Every structure is written in C-alpha cells, then in structure tokens.
Structure 1
Amino acid sequence: FSKFLCHVAFCSALNGKFGCAAVFHNVEFTTTSSSGSNKGTVMPEIKYSRHLSGGLKISVWKDDLVTHKADAVVNAANEHLNHGGGLALALCRAGGPQIQQASDQIIKVQGRVATGGAVVTPAGNLPCKYIIHAVGPYVHLNPLKSDIAAASPLLDKAIQSIFRCTEFHNLQSVAIPAISSGLYNFPRDLCADIIVNAVKSLSYVRNPQAISLEIRLVNNDDPSVQEMLRACKEILGPSDSFSGAVQIQNVIVNTIAHDLDLSKGFVSKAISEKAGWKIQDEIRKRNKWNSVADGYVGETEAYNLNCRAVYHTVCAVKSLVTRCLKMAMNTFSSISFPAIGTGNLGFQKEEVAQLMIGAAEQFAKQHKGKKLDVYFVIFPKDTDIYKVHFSWGLCVLLKDTSVIYCRLWGLNQQPSGHRAPSLTSNETTNVVFLTAFFLALTGSAFYNSEKASETPYIELFADSSEALREAKAWATRILHKPEDITINNNHVIRFGQEDHEKLMSIQTKFNVLITEFFRNGKCGITINGERTDVSSAALEVEAMLLKAQEDFANAEENELLRSVVCWQAFPGSEEPEINAALEKTYLTGVDSKRKLQKSGLKIVKVEKMENNALKQVFELNEKRVLKFQQLYQCVTAQFCELICRVGFQREYAPPEEQKYGAGIYFTTEVETALKLWKDYEEEYIYIIEARVLTGQSTAGSPQFIVPPPTKDDPLVLYDSVTDANKDIFVIFNGQQALPEFLITFRICLTLSKSKFPWSGRRLIS
C-alpha cells in the first residue's frame, strides 16, 4: 500500500458511493505539499467527535487545512490581510491569486480588519467554498501574564466573529486552526481552552432549529492537535465515537465486581457511562441482595450502547466464556469479550488469554455448523495485554466444508502445510486479531499482524453500520486486485469530450483496456489489465463517474428548486442564481405526516425521505394526474441519497430487462421488486416506497421511450405503462413519483432457492 497512489480517488469514491470517510494509517504519499516541499501528505485523521446542543458538532482532526474538505476554512490573518507567510501563504499558493486579490479589495473598501474581527473571501481552487480570515491577537515572545490577560478576550472575539460568518453564509462545516498560537506567540494550551469554551458557549445560545454546524479543530502539527484534544476532553467530556468499551455488536460482555457496582474497573465504568444510569438500576433490581458469587452471568438491556444486550459477569474465566457463548449462540450473531479478570482482580494476562481463546476453540468444536462471530476487545489502557496477545497468536473463524470452527495459529509455530489467512483472503469468513484493538472496535482495517506498528491499513468511518459494511465490501473487492472490473453506472452517458480524453489518459497511464458498454438500457465501463493497474484505474474511473453523478444531481436539484421558488431581481441587478441553500431554507417546515404502511417483512430499519421541493412539484403534477399508487423501487446504496435530493431518474435503477419501455420502473409489491432487480451484489437491499402518479395506464412495450398516445386523442399521452398483471408500472417523468420511505433489508446466501428463486438469497431481520 505504500505505493498506492490513488488514495484521493479512493476516498472520493467511498464518500460518493456510501457517504463514508477513510483514514490511512502507516502510509506515506509522496505528494508535493502546499508549502512547496516534497513531504508526505497529511492524511485526515479524526481524534475526537462530540455532538452538542444547538445543532452543533465539534471534532478534532489532524489534517492539512490546505486540502481539508469543509464549507469553509479559517485563515490566521493579519490586520492588512497580507498573506505573505505561514498558513496564509500556503492557502494562497494552493487557492490561486484570487484570494489575495479579494483580500486587497476588502482592505481598499473598508480599511484594515481590527484584531478580533473576521472577513470572508472566495476560496479559489481550494476544496472549500470560502476562507474566513480571522485576525487573532499578537503577543511578544515569552509574554507576561498581563499581556496574555489582555490578549485572551481578543482571541475569544475572533472566534465569535468566525461563528457569525458561518451563520451569515449558512455554512454546515468550518475548519479552525489554533489561531495566534504560531507566529503570534499566544500560548497553545490557552488558545485551545478559549476556542473550546467558545464552542461550548455557542451550543447554549444557538437556535436548535438552525442549520446543523460542525466545528472542526484542524491542525497538522501534533502539539496543537494534542492540546485541542485535551481541551475537548476536559471541557466537553469524552468523545461520542471513540469510547474504548463501546463495541458495535449484538452483545458485549462486561466484567463486574461482586457488589454489582458498575463504576469499578476500566471496562465496566466505560460501559456504564456510555449506557447511562438505567443499566446500573436494572442490574440492581434483578439482584435484590446486591451481591453475586463467582461465575454469575446476568443480562441487561444495552440502553445507549451500540449493541442489543450486555452480559455482566463475575470472575471464573473459562466457564464464563463458555456460558456466555451458549447464551449468545441461539439469540445473537456476535459477541465481544474484554480480557476478563486482568484489571482489578490481577489475573495473569497470558493465562487469561490462553483460557479465553481455549474456551472459544473448544466451544467451536462442540458446535460445528453454528456461526457466531467472537471478538476479543482490548481496552486501550491494557498495553500489556496487547503485547501478550500479540506474542501468543490470533484467532480465526474459518469456513471449511460448510462447517464453521475455531482454529489457533501461533505466529512462530504454524502447522506444516498451512498458513495463517490474511484479512482479505477469500477463505476467511471472519478474522479477529487479538493484537488489533481498533479492528474489534471499528471492524474496518486491512491488517498484517506480523508488523503491527508498521503495516499500512485503512480505517473507515460512516454514519451507519449498514453503510460501513457496504463500504468495506466494496473496498475489499476493488483492492483485491482483480484482472478485470465492471463498473455499472448509467451516468457514463453524460461524459463529454473532456471526460473521454481523461479516460484515454487513464488507459495510457495504467496500461489497461477501458471499454464503455451500452446494452439493455444499462451502461458502464469495463477495465482489463494487470491486477494492480486495474484496481488503480478503477478508482479513478469511479471518481469520474461519481463527479458526473453529482453534477447531474446538482443540475436537477437546481431546476427542481427553480420550478417551485422564484426570485425577482431588483431593476438593474443580475438575475439571481439558484444555489439550493436559500431555496431549501425557504421550503423548510412542510412535513408529511403519513405513516409507513406495514410491508409484512422483517426489516433492518426504515428512514423517512423528505424533500419539500420534490413534494411541491409532485403536488402540482397531482392536480393533472389524479390517480396515484404506493409503489416500490429497488436501488443500490449510492443512489439512495441522490433520489432523496432530485427524485427518481432513469439512470438510477434500470432493471435487467426493460420489457415495458425505457422509463422509471416501480412495482406494487416488495417481492416483485426483488424479482425485477435481481442483479444484486451488495450486502443490503434498499427498497424505496414512493407515491407514484400512474394515472391512465396501458400495456408497455420495449420500444417506448415516452408513453403512447391515448385512443381518444393522439395528442394526449398515457400517464404510465404497465405489465399484463399490473404488478409493474413504468413512468417516463421522474416528477410523477415522490420518494417517501427508504427500507433497508439485510440479505445472506442460502442453500435453498425455493423461496426466492430470483437470486438464491433470503431476507433476514
């Protein structure tokens, strides 16, 4: 991976397809930095994240502000906006001369910017919309306490000015560095305290109905990052997303004291704090004597934890592991264990490691044919356990002749004729590295246990576990170095001459063969060549397709908003531009109250899809086409968010065969949708329930690109076409359908194809 040069395209594709962020670890990219020196690029790394009241979110990042993607980045400017050094110079070099030109114009019109003030300019070529130039206070080297006391209110004023700029421009994210702490000599620790306290104060007074805002504290030097991290933890509390004991699994195991006090022990305390007070209350109520003996296992709800249940255990390592596995086997699909007894009880760490893994191995042999993912999670403070587990081995669940069982591999004593499978091996069903605490927590890394401190790996972050699993599956496929890759995306038809020239350039650059295809109403690109070259080329092509997809969505969204919101320019001024933000704000507040009709199927989750502009356009069409039906469409993960933004499009979900015309297909039943869209490769099925104006219908035909004329009047067209049984309807105008609910199902392979002959898969909850 050290030679993997397509990291930008990889991150872009992950974000565009799944809304997922990637962080590279132990990877050096030889790219020229913004300062002009040939240094390794700083890859984005999230250190802290916490949601606050008032629609605020604060996060701490190690990243380069020049390449950081946010609505706005903050520049530590001087009063004359002369960007001649430090961060200001780096931003200007990367963004182009227009940044300094815009700054000079501000000085010309309104004079210098006072200390504590902030102004906004366009960002030029930077990957953000605006630069907020904030003027922080300057103090002399080795300043006196009186100097710091005088400068501190000015720094706070500068931060408040930044907040006002974000509100005025309706920004949803802003990246703020440690202002004044560099060339201006302000103490770094106090700078961090002032910034974090300002964010905390803003959360108290900000309108909860205002647009959400993420304030990112972004620096590329470790001292500043560590101070921001310290200030956040001390002032705001622990991070939402990096609590050491929180494991996204079905059930997690907690080790507790005999007196049932969950505040004792690192793991138990972390679980208790995350779950909330109700978990302590429940375990007390279940045991009226408030005391339990060794070997106790009690189950409680998970409350605020990202799992379904918690097993609370007391001592007796081997028997506890076996008992917990038995309890979980018939109810849950995964279970996570800490290193039982190695904390306050002081058990020998190596002995505990051997007992726990031995118990899991023995249990697996006794229950062949059963599948249960078992995770051993190392608490971050337990570095000794980390070393013991690293030297002792790793646990792998392998698939062998349809039997799932547990096998142990010693790192230095592998059985002859065998090898320890890697995480990307096709034969590996599930791998748990005891040496990799982060893997058990995130489930998202490509890891080599032999050189834990040096091996490159990728960590993925997503808003939902479903998106994370889809992103992992896609990343594994595309990075597994196949000899050919087919990318299905109808937006290839929107490629222009410049795009095709870029395809030719990619073909030459990676020495691959790139072929576009158009068949049966579906389009895409096939790439053939050497394995590594194919993967690299595929990432760049994916990024191109996603850009075309986003450009199309933006154009459709603007046109949609233009049809429901009209602005009138003052005489003599330019025609106002549709930019979506103001129009969306204007339309906010209209809410549909209709509840989702029960489909009769077990589902993972149901999400309400809301777009007031789409709704108003649909209601206008509803006056013309009186008849509507609740119908379904099956889509892939990357189009769910786009459909919510711009509605249904022909390019998003063409079925395998378009028997009834080149339009937008819907079905009356979910099961019919699963049969119609049967070429499904993702781990989840995404069904959108929509209100569709079918109006007057007639029989469809493959030749139709628009509805046929009615018999009564050749100038009047039918509203839709359908199949003989009226199970499938096709419309030819996306504004005749309003997406209302996104229903997510999980799928798995099954030996029986009788229930779902369409793909040999069945739905599970």
Structure 2
Amino acid sequence: MQKIIEKSHPVSRTGIHALHDDQAFLDPIQQRHKCYIKIIEKEHSRKRRTPTGVIGPSTHPSVLQEYKTPSGQTLQVCLGDLTLENVDAIVNAANSKMNHEGGVALAIVEAGGDAIQDESYDINNKRRELTSGELIVTESGRLHCKKIIHVVGPRWSGGNNQEMEILYDAITNVLQEAEKLGLATIAIPAISSARTVRTPAPILVAATADSGKIRTAEGKTIQLKKANLAKEKVDVIVNTAGSKLDLQQGGVSKAILAVAGKDLQQECDRKLQGGNVDNWSFITTGPAKLQCRTVYHLVCPSYDESIKDANEKVKSEKNRYLL
C-alpha cells in the first residue's frame, strides 16, 4: 500500500466531461501506464441528462450585468456554460467553412452531438463559403435550445478593415434571424473576442439596442426593415417623387407604380393639372392596387439642390451676423 501514489491533475479542456462515459478511451492509458484514472467533475460544471437525452442546466448562470434597451429587450451579461443555457437559441462563433473544431464551436458539438456538425457541413456544401457577418441555422441536437445560429465573426486586421462595423452587422443579422424564426430568447457568446475585435460587449449592446426598433417618447414604435415598400399592408405608404409627380422617375416611385398600376399615375396627373409640387410638400392619393389606404407623395429635392439650398442658408446666416 505504501507504493500507491495518488495525484490530482486539474484539466480544463472543453468536453473533458465526455471521458466519464468513455471507458474505451481510458483503458489503454491505464494499461500502458499501470495506473487507475478517475474523472471527478466539479459540481458547478456537472451536466445532467433528461430521460429524452436532452442536456439541461443543473445551475443557473451568474448574471453579472443587466441592461434594458429603449425598445424593451433585456440584455444580460452572464458567466456560465453556453451549452447549458435554457433559451430558444444559442449562437455559435463559427468559421467560414463551418468546421466546428475549436473554442465555442467545439464545445457546442461535444455537448449537442455530431449531428450539429453534419448539418452544418450539409448546408455549407450547398452554397458558397460564408463571409464575415453571414450565418446559417441548424437544429440543436441534444442541447436544450430550439435552434443554433452559426455566425462568422471578423478577423482582426489592425482595425483598418471595418472589423467593428462587421461585428456589429453580424450581431444584427443574428438578432434579425432570431426574430424571423420566432425565437424570443437567445444566448450569444463573445463573438470574435479571442482573435479579433477587443470590445465585443459594447457592440453587442449597441446592436441589440438598435435591432431595427425604436420607441419614441410618445410610445410609438418605429421599425427599420428590409422589404418591398409597395407590398406593405399598412394605412399609409410614403412615396418620394419629383415635383411633377412622374412616377416613372425614381426608384421608389417606379416600384410603387409597378404594383399600384396606371390608375395611381392618372390620379396624380388629375391632382397636379400640369403644375408642380414644391420641395418638401406632398399630395395624397388613393392606393389604386396597393394594400394601403392612402399614398403620400412627398417631393424631395435632388442631392445637388439640397446642397445648394444649404449653402445659400449658411451664406444668408453669415451675412446676417456680419452686418
């Protein structure tokens, strides 16, 4: 008994818990070195399996900070295991080839199963390689969440290649995708923090706060979205047009006319009667074939006209103060 030596070797490698059930991995090592290996997991890192095989949280993550955005979302900075989060979606900091071989990506696959890696390869093989800011969505395997959003973060190049802006766009794309899929709660790791942008947390806060919705002091919600304006189902559609309301001119007017039909142009012509509409003024018409109640045709000056007007105003103010 005096020759028995016992020694602890703390190991912090991602996925070490998997050795607990892998005797085939441990046996050769024990035989080669004539030893016995016992894996002891710390209580805070232990995972439990439900009868369905889904990995669930054994403890709640520590909430370090909490922030409420102007549009009502709650943003928490947590210390914990991302793979144990009880949320609708978790985000993976992925590479462009969707090869989940290290870091957060490896931890997600080890906890959720190889099906996550297989699906990622299947999706990526059917399209081109992703660029920074782009994403794909997969099922969650054995994880407790509904979906995994895999997004590619930017690589740091000295800060001269818009890394901060690309990271902002990446977070924004994640939030918009989650909203589109009806995912209400989402856990996002510090994307690109290990190899690129050094301040991911402020960018995450900014992207969340600006994720397309702004609430005014009067309680109105303003939403920024990418869509076909002419196909929106709203009370009013605003068209930007020239002073003669020729809907064949200008990108917005053309798009609206294509859906509304010639009746909209004819109503504009009747109201104008050969005249002009002043800059920053508007007229209203019916919707024709649009899915709204009214169309506001706002006349905006061209860029050159706006610059000329601004210069004239500055010159006028300067002369007034010099007199």
Identify which of structures 1 and 2 has the higher relative contact order when contacts are C-alpha pairs closer than 8 Å and 6+ apart: 2
For normalisation by structure 1, the TM-score amounts to 0.21
